[in-house]
Structure 1
């Protein structure tokens, strides 16, 4: 007999890697990764590839530092992965992120490459404050990749199980 339970939706939450401060006259949008950030982005993409992580779609903020964080996934994980750049992931609050996730629940998996505090808020909303604090007591660090299995309805109605947390500086939890 086949299990009638709905298959969970796998969500990958990736905060952009470490970026430098804005130079005089430079817009926040144009801030690039610093040297550590480039290394983090490459490392987290390689760690994901080594674990067979392959989201169906990557939705990425249009900000330079997010695009630079997402690009190594294309090279390391698969050149067949589609990356779409979404302005609202730069300008919008966590509710916009939730709406974007809900609009893509027809997929099996989705990666969001975005910014704090929105990534941290989503992580806490889906995983629960206690689990989020246990996993990341000092907040959601740059280049951290959380893997969550979502069950249930859209937005706030969904609950998630933290499957794995991959940090570019140590082994995954």
Structure 2
């Protein structure tokens, strides 16, 4: 399995906010946030900004609901945050998510906005199953934001990433 070695030394994992169901004949990719999802995205983005979390780079799935969640992040943190939209994050595997994060060697703080179940699998790979089950026993919620700091020597197995915070709306 791919390991994520600093940099980055801080990773933010944000599952997109709640979306509606696809319109008849519509594609899953084009599902938009519903009213509750817009509110979730704004609350989580505002809470993260209030806590002075500051990603340098946001890596985001190209699915509409992820782009709309990224818009809330962009508004809360300001124009200086670089946004990068990555097609492979939509329906991406754990290995894809890990590879995308591992390739980020220029930024110290990276946010990834993606989808479940891969977001949950990624968190488990980074902190271990027991710690993940204690943190989110009911699964990774929509608009859930995990703040992770590298907690030790180069990652050889799950557990060197430490959860600093977990924010939900």
Q: Deviations over 1:126-169 (max 9, x none)?
A: 1111111111000000000000113444685772101110111x
Which residue in 2 is equivalent to 1:161?
Answer: 162
Structure 1 unaligned spans of 5+? 1-5, 169-173
Deviation at 1:8, TM superposition (A): 7.0
Partners of 1:57 and 1:82 within 8 A in 2: yes
Which residue in 1 is equivalent to 2:15?
Answer: 15
Q: Deviations over 1:47-85 (max 9, x none)?
A: 011011110100000000000001111111121101110
Q: Which moved more, 1:140-149 or 1:69-78?
A: 69-78
TM-score by length of 2: 0.90
Q: Which moved more, 1:150-159 or 1:50-59?
A: 150-159
TM-score by length of 1: 0.88
CA distance in 2, matches of 1:75, 1:121: 28
Which residue in 2 is equivalent to 1:3?
Answer: none
CA distance in 1, matches of 2:13, 2:78: 18
CA distance in 2, matches of 1:67, 1:90: 11
- Tell me which of the two structures has the higher relative contact order, counting C-alpha pairs closer than 8 angstroms and 6 or more residues apart: 2
When residues 80 and 106 of structure 1 are mapped into structure 2, their CA distance, relative to the original with a 3 A threshold, is closer
The count of corresponding residues between Structure 1 and Structure 2 is 163
CA distance in 2, matches of 1:62, 1:160: 27
Which residue in 1 is equivalent to 2:3?
Answer: none
RMSD of aligned Cα (Å):
1.8
Partners of 2:32 and 2:65 within 8 A in 1: yes
CA distance in 2, matches of 1:13, 1:7: 16
CA distance in 1, matches of 2:17, 2:129: 23
Q: Which moved more, 1:128-137 or 1:148-157?
A: 148-157
CA distance in 1, matches of 2:11, 2:60: 13
Deviation at 1:27, TM superposition (A): 0.3
